[in-house]
Amino acid sequence: MDVLINVFLALHIIGIAALLGGFLGQTKAMGAGEATVTPGMLHGAGTMLITGLALVGLNQADDQEVNNTKIAVKLAILVAILVLVYVKRGEKVPPPIFGAIGLLTAANIFIATLW
Ligand code: HEM
């Protein structure tokens, strides 16, 4: 079970890379109001949801403690990210909205690691 949990954790991290990498690669374009939500960002956010839910299930099945409050907060933040990247997919996004996607993603990373 440990191997399976670690495989899903690795996929969870690949999802972060796709979402945050898509954001960071466009910070210059964001300054010019030219940033777009790329397919990689949308797929990264979807990957976060699927692998996150799988991690909760696998940890519970393995009798490992899961911090439900932390997960609920991370899930709420990811739902906000998913709505933004889905609604704005393929479009030029105004800097405050594009910036919010990056900030919310970074917030979830700090919540995951510091809480
Ligand atoms: C943008 C969204 C998200 C980001 C950036 C993120 C980030 C991370 C990171 C960096 C880790 C590894 C750190 C650690 O194991 O302590 C992690 C683990 C984990 N994540 Fe996420 N996550 C996100 C969304 C979610 C969602 C939506 C769920 C569940 C519905 C979830 C469930 C988990 C679980 C169960 C673990 C492993 C156990 C734990 O430490 O809490 N994550 N996440």
Pairwise CA distance, residues 69 & 105, whole Å? 18
**What's the pLDDT score for residue 87?**
98
Distance of CA 76 to the CA centre of its chain: 11
What type of residue is 92?
A: K
Ligand 1, atom 7, residue with closest C-alpha: 109
| pTM beyond cutoff 0.85 | yes
pLDDT at 43 over 90: yes
Phi/psi class of residue 14: alpha, beta or left (left: φ > 0; alpha: ψ in -120 to 50)? alpha
pLDDT at 1 over 90: no
Summarised one tens digit per residue, pLDDT across range 53-97 is 999 999 999 999 999 999 999 999 999 999 999 999 999 999 999
Task: Say which residues have a Cβ less than 8 Å from residue 89's Cβ, sequence separation at least 6.
Answer: 37, 39, 42
Summarised one tens digit per residue, pLDDT across range 19-41 is 999 999 999 999 999 999 999 99
Compute, in angstroms, the gap from residue 57 CA to the centroid of ligand 1. 12
